[in-house]
Amino acid sequence: MDRVHNFSAGPATLPLEVLKKAKSEFTEYQEMGRSVMEISHRSAEYTEIDHQAKSRLRDLLNLGTDFEIMFLQGGASSQFMMVPFNFLRDDQTADYIDTGRWSKKAIREAKIFGNVHRPFSSRESGYDSVPTDDELNLSEDPAYVHYTSNNTVAGTQFADEPETNGVPLVCDASSDFLAKPIDVSKYGLIYAGAQKNVGPAGVTIVIVRKDFLEQAITEDVPTILQYQTHAEKIFNTPPTYNVYMVNLVLEWIEEQGGLSYFEKFNKEKATLVYDEIDADDFYRGAVDKDSRSLMNATFRLPTEQLEQKFLGEAAEHNLLALKGHRSVGGIRASMYNACPRESVETLIQFMRDFRKNNG
């Protein structure tokens, strides 16, 4: 099989082992004579898939029994609306740390439901950094503090959870979910579109702490949009095949060594790329060094013409999806859990050759 080096920001590379297993089970799952896509979400077989996926998430994140896990639809963008709909009243304020395109969109949705305070924003500098705890100016009594842990467009990432002095964190973790261990005790809610690190597009993972869930608003919130509707049960038909794929990816993560393994692995890959960027001034990192993402390395070349040439020649070497987001341009190499070291090493060699030939 001739696999390319895929640096797509999402939908992103999936583990080859997972794809092969899914292929072997595509037309018939567990001698049922049917695909997973063809069985009822109320069947014993799908119930077991759902149970396995949630159990693996509990183990990987050390969630214990304090959290509810939900597999929803609508992507992380639907959570921009659903979070404040459930947890922000008219007379309350929520703090939204503004570090990129997706936090900006989340802020816009939250303003529909209540007051929004920005304790930090890097918008004026092109979203080139994330704050230190000393730079956060939290409001007096926020309902929650929302942040985007990794910013795919700009290429920045929080190294640790922001300090909120006990206020529940709500996190859009879409692009670094399960890429490293986290301190779950600080979170009220975590949501993530699966299509970066955990599976194919079409399923959104939502994890809510039970005592935070008890505070959720239910009055005047449509049934389908209440988190409590989805707690401890499958309310409506979930994206069954996508959850099946998520379960396979979670199994693969366990087999590789869990989140501590991927934290080390992802740091090693990112270090290779950033060391090459910093070797001289031909390549230029797009964000502050202290805020650099392990998932999405963003950089520029001396001219836009050279960037286009870089992308064209990279594609000839089967190095694909390296174009930066349309809103910022440049180059972006996305290196999620399933991105193999071989792909990164091939990119590094290409970067060296391109510099030599065009510097």
- What residue numbers does the annotated binding site for L-glutamate cover? 42
- Site of tokens 């509707």: 229
For the chain, where are the E strands, in sequence order? 5-6, 67-72, 93-96, 115-117, 145-148, 150-151, 156-157, 169-172, 187-193, 204-209, 284-285, 296-300, 319-320, 331-334
- Contact (Cβ atoms closer than 8 angstroms) between residue 14 and residue 247: no
Rounded CA-CA distance 332/101 in Å is 15
Burial 37-74 (b: 16+ CB within 10 A, else e): eebeeeeeebeebbebbbebbbebbebeeebbbbbbeb
Rounded CA-CA distance 312/248 in Å is 34
Annotated catalytic residue 102:
yes
How many CB atoms neighbour CB 133 within 10 A? 11
3-state secondary structure of 245: helix
User: Which of the 8 DSSP states describes residue 107?
Assistant: H
Q: What angle do CA 253, 255, 258 make, to 5 degrees?
A: 50
Task: List the catalytic residue out of 102, 186, 269, 323.
Answer: 102
Annotated catalytic residue 172:
yes
Q: Residue positions in the annotated binding site?
A: 42, 76-77, 102, 152, 172, 195, 236-237
Annotated catalytic residue 323:
no
Q: Cβ neighbours of residue 221 under 8 Å, at least 6 residues apart?
A: 85, 86
User: Which of the 8 DSSP states describes residue 303?
Assistant: S
Q: Residue positions in the annotated binding site for pyridoxal 5'-phosphate?
A: 76-77, 102, 152, 172, 195, 236-237
Task: List the catalytic residue out of 128, 172, 180, 186.
Answer: 172
Pairing of strands 204-209, 67-72: antiparallel
For 200, 330, 342, the CA distances from 4, given in Å and listed in that order, are: 18, 21, 11
**Nearest in space to 216 (alpha carbons), one of 142, 143, 163, 115:** 143
Q: Cβ neighbours of residue 100 under 8 Å, at least 6 residues apart?
A: 122, 127, 148, 151, 152, 153, 154, 156
Q: Hey, which residues are catalytic here?
A: 102, 172, 196
